[in-house]
Amino acid sequence: MGKGALHVTLTATRDCNSCGKTTGFPLTFRVLQVSDGSALTGMTLTQLWDKEDKLLGPALLDRKEAFIDPGRVQVLPIARKPGATAVIVVGNFCRSHGTCWYFVQPLAKGGTVRLLAGPDCLSVAK
């Protein structure tokens, strides 16, 4: 990847996307590049998933989808889109908690995002 590349690293815990069970399940997630980082404010996962184009409109510049198995690490290098001001990672959890089903990183803070996918939430990886 050249200059302006984005790197999203997602590490899944063994109980990632556990749906209230004792074991984890694969998690589908999307990386959105947007021109407005506040675009998801007030939305639920159900409202957004598969409706990104309609709900985000011209603020949505790019969408990449991937999945991760529990206990694994997924690294996605992504070409930065012109006009992108933020990257949003959305986890399609079977049971989400509050608003932590998504994570927004303004690109002014850099193009590297490192997250941990747990039972029902995304969090910043240490």
User: pLDDT of 102-125, one tens digit each?
Assistant: 999 999 888 899 999 999 999 999
Q: Kind and range of the H or E element at 91?
A: strand 86-91
pLDDT at 1 over 60: no
| Residue-range domain boundaries for the chain | 6-124
Distance CA 63, CA 120 (A): 22
Buried b vs exposed e over 68-107: b needs ≥16 C-beta within 10 Å?
bebebebebebebeeebebbbbbbbbeebeebebbbbbeb
pLDDT of residue 2: 44
What mean pLDDT is reported for the chain? Answer: 92
pLDDT at 3 over 60: no
Distance CA 19, CA 41 (A): 24
User: pLDDT of 36-95, one tens digit each?
Assistant: 988 788 889 999 999 999 999 999 999 999 999 999 999 999 999 999 999 999 999 999
What is the pTM for the complete model shown? 0.93
Q: Which fold has domain 6-124?
A: Immunoglobulin-like (2.60.40)
User: pLDDT of 5-36, one tens digit each?
Assistant: 899 999 999 999 999 898 999 999 999 999 99
